[in-house]
Structure 1
Amino acid sequence: MKQLKHIQRFQPRFVKRFGGEDDGAIIVEFGIVMPIMLLLLALTVEASRLMWSYQSVIAGVRDAGRYMARVTPSDICAGGGSVASLSSTLKDIVQKDINGNALFPIGITVNSVTPSYSCVAGTYRVSPAPVAQVTANVTVQFPLGGVLALFGEGISSVTTNVTDKSRIFGQ
């Protein structure tokens, strides 16, 4: 019984002292802010990776369009023909550099590359002028998509088409 009175007597002072201290406040604030900061970091990394990947795909499709504009005969509009046989070569150009090394970071897949051409009248000095078009269907996988899913609906991949057109000058 004597011990209980002793505790009750010192309790208000202890509670007052504990309420007045702020030694652990920084850790509590850090614990509250940390998930938000991690989410912002993950979003920044994913947005940067997406932009880098998209720019790499654009460069590859542009190179494939230039190649197609050089190897396709300039009289294709008059003589007719098909460019479907260039599909696998153009896919390699989109995916790899001149040494055969992969251009894209891990997680980017080129699903298909579709070459086509059209004959445009009245725009160029030659009428109708052949114009090459290369369209690549690309899927970008996000490695941090699982982390983003913790904060709501996460997007794990994006699929899009990238197109480039070039005037055909022939061989």
Structure 2
Amino acid sequence: MTRLVRHIRRLRSCEAGAPMVEFGIVLPLILLFFAVIIEGGRITWIHQATSAGVRDASRMIARIAPLDLCAAGGVGSYDALATDIVQNQLGGSSIMPHGTTVIDVTPRCISRAGVYRINPTSVVEVTAQIRIEYLFGNVFSLFGATLGPLDTEISDQSRVFGV
């Protein structure tokens, strides 16, 4: 009996599995930390790519449109051009990372009064609506509800210089 008691006491005082238990406690926090860093970087990348595309689309339309764009019927004929500029790079391949969907790209003409050569002057505004799916939504669900997609809108304006 004393041999059995000594064996039980030795097992109770053994701390060989303590690092494994500590790792099991800390692992979910480490996963959350990495998921937040990666998702934050992706969202910044997506926002920057969309913002650059919207800015380029508004500048392009402002350069090739007639000076009296708002009076001449608006920007309806530039919808396809604006969408193509926001979604694609020069080679035709998509600039949007995986998990990103461009829902809608809408150019519109704003007539703005001011001290310009032609008063009122035309301003082109391009607005893009995008949806971002979280790659690590399942990791976030360990700490609460799952995260659904993020819908956001990015816009930019440029004054029409005319052709």
- Global fold match (TM > 0.5): yes
Report which stretch shifted further, 39-48 or 90-99. 39-48
CA distance in 2, matches of 1:63, 1:161: 16
The equivalent residue for 2:24 is 31
- Distance in 2 between the 1:132 and 1:50 partners? 26
Structure 2 CA distance for partners of 1:136 and 1:123, relative to 1, 3 Å: farther
1:129 offset after TM fit, Å? 1.7
Q: 1:43 aligns with which of 36, 39, 52?
A: 36
**How many percent of aligned residue pairs carry the same amino acid?**
40
Residue 99 (str. 1) matches residue 91 (str. 2):
yes
Secondary structure, aligned partner of 1:55 = helix
Aligned-residue offset at 1:154? 1.8
**Larger proportion of helix:** 1
Q: Which of these residues, 129, 132, 135, is aligned with residue 127 of structure 2? A: 135
Structure 1 residues 17-42: Cα deviation after superposition (integer angstroms, max 9, x where no partner): 22332211111101111111112111
Question: 1:153–1:124: structure 2 CA closer, same or farther, 3 Å change rule?
Answer: farther
Ranges of 4+ aligned residues in structure 1 off by more than 3 Å: 123-126
2:55 and 2:66 mapped to 1: Cα distance?
19
Segments of 5+ residues of structure 2 without an aligned counterpart are none
Q: 2: distance between equivalents of 1:113 and 1:139?
A: 12
Aligned residue type for 1:107: G
What is the root-mean-square deviation of aligned Cα atoms in Å?
1.6
Matched, 1:113 2:99: no
Superimposed CA distance per residue, residues 101-133 of structure 1 (whole angstroms, 9 cap, x where no aligned partner)? 111111111111111111111254543221110
Q: Is the Cα contact below 8 Å between 1:84 and 1:114 reproduced in 2?
A: no
Alpha-carbon distance between aligned partners in 1 of 2:49 and 2:115, rounded to the nearest angstrom: 30
Query: Structure 2 length normalisation: TM-score?
Result: 0.91
Give 3-state SS (helix, strand or coil) of 2:129's partner.
strand
Say if 2:145 is the partner of 1:153.
yes
Q: After the TM superposition, which of the residue ranges 118-127 and 37-46 deviates more from structure 2?
A: 118-127
Rounded to whole Å, the distance in 2 between the matches of 1:154 and 1:41 is 17
Provide the aligned length of Structure 1 versus Structure 2.
163
Offset at 1:148?
1.8
Of 155-164 and 124-133, deviating more is: 124-133
